[in-house]
A and B are shown apart, each in its own frame.
Chain A
Amino acid sequence: MTKLSYSEAKKELEAIVKSIEAGELDVDLLTAKVKRASELITFCKEKLTTTDEELQKLLEEMA
């Protein structure tokens, strides 16, 4: 999850939602897909609203 970029996460999320909407998804896979989608949503929201301390530090250290 850490390696994932925001846009990758968003794309994956969109793909999951579309596949469920299209009814292509096997019910057996639904739980796993919904779980993954929830993770992606959390990831995206965190990217928007949670400060990345590492990034902050990196910026401060920039010459």
Chain B
Amino acid sequence: MTTPSTLPTAPAPAPAPAAVPAPLPHRRRRAPKAPSALLSRAGVTALLALATLYTLLPLTWLLLSSTKSRADLFGTNGFAPGRDMHLAENLEQLFTADGGVYLRWILNTVAYAGVGALLAAVFSVAAGYAFDKLAFPGKERLFSLVLLGVMVPGTALAIPLFLLAAEAGLVNTFWSVFLPGLVFPFGVYLARVFSASYVPDEVLEAARMDGASEFRAFRTIAFPMLAPGFVTIFLFQFTQIWNSFFLPLVMLSDQDLYPVNLGLYVWYSSALSQGHPEDYLLAVVGSLVAVAPLIAVFLMLQRFWKSGMTAGAVK
């Protein structure tokens, strides 16, 4: 469960002070155009630098901390390297702890997120294509149902899903986390947009004229055209399942079925309070290893991702 946000945050004293000194320099800056452009460029750069720091600082901490021994972890500055290199030992500990359960968590996550997102992307593309190209009764009404699904956040569905899974006897099984990952309404919506912009009706017309069945037209003609969209949807869902925490938390209690984030949380949550600091270090190193595949997937597929993100921007 997410921690309840603090109620009494100070009321934001937002625009008032900024607005007051505005008029005076405004007129002065107007006349020579260069400083304003320079200022905005410096401003944008500063903002980007801040965002970069925000993204990279935790990663730096993670990277440095993973190389430290336990004494250095608490004894040296978080953003300075430790006194000696301990990464190899830490990694070895990580993969042998609790009978090598970490590797199992990684494999589970790959199955939940990798296979799950792959299937989810296939279903989404097929459904989105059907919504775009085929005519069937109640189509738009069905599609608004899909849009409704987009609006409901996944966390809100975890408990109802859990109760359903309990009815079906699926709690604490692989399927309880895998099956919900196959449903991705936002992917269906995206796929419909992709299909509209990537797959010309004329091509399908030609395929049908040549005697291709609807399924064949989709499989051999439309699907390859939708490849960038497919990858985009896959990546979206992949990260979503990879990061999903609450659903596996309520569904699973068998450690051998845990995805990696839940497993790391088990290590982290009881490590320091129960005097097992080695678990804390394991959680740190484990987090580093767990983000590596995500980075790899993105580096490999960002070409598709980028083209997918801007698809339909012009048309």
Co-assembled chains A and B: no
Query: Using a CB–CB distance below 8 Å, which chain A residues touch chain B?
Result: none
Query: Using a CB–CB distance below 8 Å, which chain B residues touch chain A?
Result: none
